[in-house]
């Protein structure tokens, strides 16, 4: 029942909504729609937004084989290639003006990773060798220009001089390194390795898993640390519920793609522990809270957190078939999502966030540089494949 509902939602609502955001005049997809559903055609276009949309249409095409989805993916790829890529210095910009000119020329490791993710999936969908070549080049840029002996440095100017990492820092801290960036480098490399199994990518996937297990995962607290200094020391007491459940299934996916028993044995206890802890501490029987900072729980129900929890608990059930409560949790969160997070207004998609009772917070946009079909669209694709 849940899988049928989610497939129908994907085809009838999510896909048509994002198709309607296509900019045929200047390329890519429009970058902003406010809470009142007013579309700003001259808003900045985030490169992460356009990478994620390109990934979404590529992956949806690979699963559903609807040729119109491949056309959307080609449109997104053209914008990435022609406008998001810095042809002089290499790498992907942070954002583009509505008409295709660079807006914020920051080079962020997180942004490079999402472009690899999109380009790898687009290569699978289209067979376009240029996309694969671009993904490989971005992999080389990350590994040669964005690393140190402790991991991935994050924020750089246009010429790759390191700058303050304000774009991926929150909760009142500026972090040199973040769990979030490391996770999505891992996710991107998993996708690249899946479509083109290069030994150097495999080596980095193993290194990242070692780092998650040995430095990011806090065994005593059954959680990941979130923000770090340059030496990978945690700098804040923060438990990000959505990231932990997302990490659990993405690491399990990476282990599966990698195919190394040593890492299955090392990482599976970690991902099982993260899943169980989120079930015990963040799930209230129908939805997932956001995070806990210094012992204080943020109870907002965020769109992406619910989407990742559905996939994460389905994955937890797959990894532990005796834990039927995980399957039930996924179904309950979907019930909450379809009742409260999916915006029933014509021409909309999902609300950004609602309270515990499902009441939306006015003012949060429906589309902006971080709000896109990556989390909820991916949830739909994963449920269709898993259930």
Q: In the sheet where 238-240 sits, what is the strand order?
A: 238-240, 291-293, 296-298
Give the start-to-end residue ranges of the domains of the chain: 2-386
- pLDDT (0 to 100) of residue 306: 98
Contacts of 65 (CB under 8 A, 6+ apart): none
Q: pLDDT per residue over 298-334, tens digit each?
A: 999 999 999 999 999 999 999 999 999 999 999 999 9
DSSP state of 46: E
Mean pLDDT within 228-253: 98
Q: What percent of the chain has pLDDT over 90?
A: 99
Q: For 236, how many CA atoms within 13 A lie in the half-sphere containing its CB?
A: 21
Q: How confident is the model at residue 196 (pLDDT cuts 50, 70, 90)?
A: very high
**CA–CA distances in Å: residue 384 to residues 2, 274, 345:** 9, 24, 25
Helices (H), 259-366: 261-281, 303-319, 324-336
Q: How confident is the model at residue 387 (pLDDT cuts 50, 70, 90)?
A: confident
Average pLDDT, the chain: 98
What's phi and psi for 362, nearest 5 deg?
-60, 150
- Top-tier CATH class for 2-386: mainly alpha
The SS3 call for residue 30 is: coil
Mean pLDDT within 273-286: 98
Q: pLDDT per residue over 128-183, tens digit each?
A: 999 999 999 999 999 999 999 999 999 999 999 999 999 999 999 999 999 999 99
pTM score:
0.98
Mean pLDDT within 359-378: 97
- pLDDT (0 to 100) of residue 370: 97
Whether residue 333 contacts residue 261, with contact meaning beta carbons closer than 8 Å, is answered with no
Alpha-carbon torsion 152, 158, 160, 164, what sign? negative
Dist CA 133 CA 127 (whole Å): 11
Mean pLDDT within 89-104: 98
Contacts of 142 (CB under 8 A, 6+ apart): 109, 112, 113, 116, 152, 185
- pLDDT (0 to 100) of residue 39: 98
Whether residue 303 contacts residue 352, with contact meaning beta carbons closer than 8 Å, is answered with yes
Q: How confident is the model at residue 60 (pLDDT cuts 50, 70, 90)?
A: very high
Dist CA 39 CA 34 (whole Å): 7
Q: pLDDT per residue over 8-28, tens digit each?
A: 999 999 999 999 999 999 999
The SS3 call for residue 112 is: helix
Q: How confident is the model at residue 372 (pLDDT cuts 50, 70, 90)?
A: very high
Q: How many CB atoms lie within 10 A of CB 292?
A: 18
Whether residue 241 contacts residue 191, with contact meaning beta carbons closer than 8 Å, is answered with no
Whether residue 98 contacts residue 31, with contact meaning beta carbons closer than 8 Å, is answered with yes
DSSP code per residue over 134-172: HHHHHHHHHHHHSEETTEE--EE-TT--B----TT--TT
Among 139, 158, 235, smallest CA distance to 131 is for 139
Dist CA 252 CA 263 (whole Å): 10
Among 258, 149, 140, smallest CA distance to 206 is for 258
Question: Is the pLDDT confidence value at 1 over 90?
Answer: no
DSSP state of 184: H
Dist CA 320 CA 239 (whole Å): 23
- pLDDT (0 to 100) of residue 359: 98
Q: pLDDT per residue over 62-77, tens digit each?
A: 999 999 999 999 999 9
Dist CA 192 CA 1 (whole Å): 33
Dist CA 152 CA 2 (whole Å): 39
Whether residue 252 contacts residue 319, with contact meaning beta carbons closer than 8 Å, is answered with yes
């Amino acid at each position: 029942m849940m899988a049928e509902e989610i497939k129908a939602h994907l085809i009838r609502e999510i896909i048509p909504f994002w198709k309607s955001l296509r900019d045929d005049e200047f390329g890519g997809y429009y970058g902003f729609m406010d809470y009142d559903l007013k579309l700003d055609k001259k808003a900045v276009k985030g490169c992460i937004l356009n990478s994620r949309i390109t990934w979404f249409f590529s992956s949806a095409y690979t699963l559903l084989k609807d040729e119109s989805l491949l056309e959307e993916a080609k449109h997104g790829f053209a914008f990435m290639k022609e406008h998001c890529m810095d042809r002089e210095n290499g790498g992907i910009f942070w954002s583009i003006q509505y008409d295709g000119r660079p807006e914020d020329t920051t080079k962020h490791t997180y942004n490079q990773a999402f472009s690899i993710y999109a380009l790898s999936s687009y290569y699978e969908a289209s067979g376009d060798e240029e996309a694969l070549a671009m993904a490989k080049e971005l992999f080389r840029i990350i590994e040669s220009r964005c690393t140190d002996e402790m991991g991935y440095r994050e924020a750089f100017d246009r010429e790759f001089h390191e700058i303050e990492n304000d774009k991926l820092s929150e909760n009142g801290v500026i972090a040199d390194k973040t769990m979030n960036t490391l996770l999505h480098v891992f996710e991107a490399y998993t996708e690249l390795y899946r479509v083109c199994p290069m030994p150097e990518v495999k080596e980095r996937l193993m290194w990242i898993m070692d780092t998650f297990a040995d430095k990011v995962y806090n065994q005593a607290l059954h959680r990941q640390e979130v923000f770090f200094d340059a030496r990978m020391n945690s700098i804040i007491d923060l438990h990000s519920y959505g990231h932990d459940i997302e990490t659990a299934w993405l690491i399990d996916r990476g282990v599966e793609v990698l195919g190394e028993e040593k890492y299955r044995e090392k990482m599976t206890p970690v991902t099982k522990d993260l899943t169980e802890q989120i079930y015990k501490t963040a799930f209230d029987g129908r939805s997932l809270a956001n995070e806990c900072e210094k012992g204080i729980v943020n109870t907002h129900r965020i769109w992406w957190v619910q989407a990742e929890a559905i996939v994460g608990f389905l994955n937890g059930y797959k990894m532990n078939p005796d834990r039927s409560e995980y399957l039930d949790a996924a179904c309950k969160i979907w019930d909450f999502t379809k009742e409260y997070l999916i915006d029933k207004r014509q021409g909309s998609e999902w609300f950004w966030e609602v309270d515990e009772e499902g009441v939306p917070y006015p003012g949060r946009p429906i589309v902006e540089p971080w709000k896109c079909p990556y989390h909820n669209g991916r949830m739909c694709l994963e449920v269709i494949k898993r259930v």
